[in-house]
A and B are shown apart, each in its own frame.
Chain A
């Protein structure tokens, strides 16, 4: 009997309308679940040359063996596919919390794989082991909120829904896959993939159970597990909430995704709106928000963003400050009649941008959602695509401050443009490495724990508010977790290079594991702890949870190996299908060769290449190309992937392949020269 997994993955071919299943057992335990199984299916089925909006693109909504169990963070769902937000579109991932993922498990499935394109708008109705496509003509044109409410009317109030809004229908590259009122798979533009496939929503109701191999062990693990994420030493939520309200009077309520012990969201209802009655939905607020005046209407603009199914992060931290930058450079004056406010000083980092009035933000969101006018049409694809279309391309160079332009996503927790906390040189080098190698903003699952840890826990991090753990203890923790005592040493910069490559890789492997089980990185990628005697976090919890749930007796080292396997497979897919190589990796540096926000330090691109060398070496990838080698692929149990890369002429470590690569120089992948602002 299978424990943990349900054993079936739904496969929906929208072109033919056929709904079939894939046996999960084909992929376990090697690829775990979630991102791992999606990567493997994509490797087997996704042909090179397919673009995000092609019928051949596949959309994966995946859960894992731990989804829907008592393990903390077990409510998440991973969304994968060729992501239109990236430049160029590549196979990438995004994830969201909420209750949909667990409901899918209770309905009897380990994931949904969508392919093809429907002839007319449809939605997928999944319930207790069955699934059918239904006409969605009545839902087309509605927002995610209206769609969710309509499907709950049709299928019962406990139905969980993921859907795309008007933005997704319009093929916006910054459209999200939305669930509930405040959870979305935000980065990647997967809402547009749903929209172009004419798949409006997936509604799920499951009354079944997730079978667990050792119920008592699992219960004990969860009752006695770390509560680090809830500890006030980790995060002062009350202060954060007060900051968010901008000093205005508001009512807060803590909130969480389903099946998680760690609250990381809150809903904010400003007292003015509370009086309007119960029609204002409670919008979950994570770390992002519109800086707007008055602050109290923030809940309204957030709800609009979620309802239209837009990526609020991109609008708040990318598009709005970029428009301000454009105005400072005389490229634009008003937003079709609405004044764009700008600061007197030049904008160097996000903190220099000024808040917009609520009316302007509302107008901008509407323009983007409905592709209204030339401006709205261009901005609906995100600032990176818009930069080339608008103002004769003159605004494109201004993007370098904000974006690694290849990713199409703003930097995040990496010490530069400035979303995320203060992180000081040289601690932003591992995140920079992750930006180079990843297919998306790595902060969501890889960078976060690294960056938050160096900021909040360690002493001597050059921050004005150093953490509580003394350096000697930090070295002990680093030796225990990363296997190298110097990893968090603030005096080590480029040399030795592995000191920066080790944590970059460790956190990426952890991320793959978290994304495959599927859990949340907030609790399960911890390195430091304030609750243990030696400050070393419990890094083996995932293996214990996995063993208890599935009955496979594994060690954390086994699981970490699976994380490496999945990370390497995603790299191989990226190399085979999307021409990923060292040059593409280095093209992310456009955003990091500007002075760091908190420390003014400028990255040395020549020395940085040695860090990348070290990263490749540790990964078992070819140093000159960044392609995985046969030795490492075979050691990870994937000799067939090595064969596939060899057939494509892209296997690392052979002369023939290196020559092959030289024939395919792409001019757009060159590192851009940093732009000097005023």
Chain B
């Protein structure tokens, strides 16, 4: 199997996170046209009852994307594709069968995965971070974050 092109990635500095969850709302607003953290591709986990800081749960855009291979192995016309510009591993909702193979394959499942699902007319559709590939200014969560806790690192600048 030929090696896939690398992807850019969003890097989080959890010490700067202010737990406002504006990233979650911005993500759902851009991708789903509604405000709903439940439909976000980024998740902020925090518990004020312990002294630890928050935890930012993000797609790692793996070099060996298990979600991509799971989808490609299962379907003749896979829903997960590699975006040419950013390298993002994206789910095409039109092609998604709703089988959930990507979610089960994700090495971060269950606690740390951000592959989500929402119902549609028949069955459901899965979604994951696509680095806002069609937004020229880059990922919207990075742009909205008031604490500048998120940084977008393009594929070429990504560390080994």
Chain A residues at the B interface, C-beta cutoff of 8 Å: 68-70, 72, 75, 99, 106, 145, 148-149, 157, 180-182, 207-212, 215, 218-219, 222-223, 227, 230, 253-263, 269, 274, 277-282, 284
* Chain B: minimal CB distance from A529 (Å): 17
Residues of A within 8 A of B50 (CB): 278-279, 281-282
Neighbouring A residues of B79 by C-beta, 8 Å: none
Query: Which residue of chain B is the closest to A269 with respect to CB atoms?
Result: B51
**Are B35 and A282 neighbours in the complex by a CB distance under 8 Å?**
no
Q: Which A residues lie within 8 Å of B140 (CB)?
A: 219, 223
Known: A207-B36, A277-B51. 6 other contacts (CB 8 A): A254-B18, A254-B147, A259-B20, A261-B144, A263-B20, A281-B50
B28 interface residue (CB < 8 Å to A): yes
Say yes or no: B49 contacts A181, CB within 8 Å.
Answer: yes
Query: A274 and B18 in contact (CB under 8 A), knowing A68-B35, A70-B25, A263-B147?
Result: no
A-B CB contact pairs (8 Å), 19 listed: A70-B25, A70-B35, A70-B144, A181-B48, A208-B38, A209-B34, A209-B35, A209-B38, A219-B29, A223-B143, A255-B19, A260-B22, A261-B20, A261-B144, A263-B20, A263-B147, A277-B51, A280-B51, A281-B49
Rounded to whole Å, the gap between the CB of B88 and the closest CB of chain A is: 19
* Inter-subunit contact A149/B49 (CB<8 Å): yes
* Residues A222 and B51 in contact, CB atoms below 8 Å apart: no
Query: Distance in Å from the Cβ of A181 to the closest Cβ of chain B?
Result: 4
Whether B34 contacts A211 by the Cβ 8 Å rule is yes
The contact string, 1 if C-beta is below 8 Å from chain A, for chain B 47-58, is 111111100000
Contact A282 B144 (CB under 8 A): no
| B49 cross-chain contacts in A, Cβ below 8 A | 145, 148-149, 181, 281
B33 contacts partner chain A, Cβ-Cβ < 8 Å: yes
Within 8 Å of chain A (Cβ to Cβ): is B81?
A: no
Asked if A215 and B34 sit within 8 Å, CB to CB, the answer is yes
Would you call B144 and A278 a contact (CB within 8 A)? Answer: no
Query: Across the interface, which residues of B come within 8 angstroms of A277, CB to CB?
Result: 51
Closest 4 CB pairs of A and B: A209-B36, A209-B34, A181-B48, A215-B33
How far is it, in angstroms, between the C-alpha of A6 and the C-alpha of B21 when the chains are bound?
A: 20
Task: Name the B residues within 8 Å of A261 (CB-CB).
Answer: 20, 22, 144, 146
Does residue B32 face the partner (Cβ distance < 8 Å to A)?
Answer: yes
Contact indicator B29/A215 (Cβ below 8 Å) = yes
Q: Is the CB of B51 within 8 A of A219?
A: no
Is B146 in contact with A263, judged by CB distance below 8 angstroms?
yes
Q: Are A70 and B52 in contact (CB under 8 A)?
A: no
* A277 to B49 CA separation, bound complex (whole angstroms): 12
Residues of B within 8 A of A210 (CB): 34-36
Q: Which residues of B27-80 are within 8 A (CB) of A?
A: 28-30, 32-39, 47-53
Q: How far is the CA of A260 from the CA of B20 in the complex (A)?
A: 6
| Shortest Cβ gap from A143 to chain B (Å) | 12
Closest chain-B Cβ to A64's Cβ sits at a distance in Å of 13
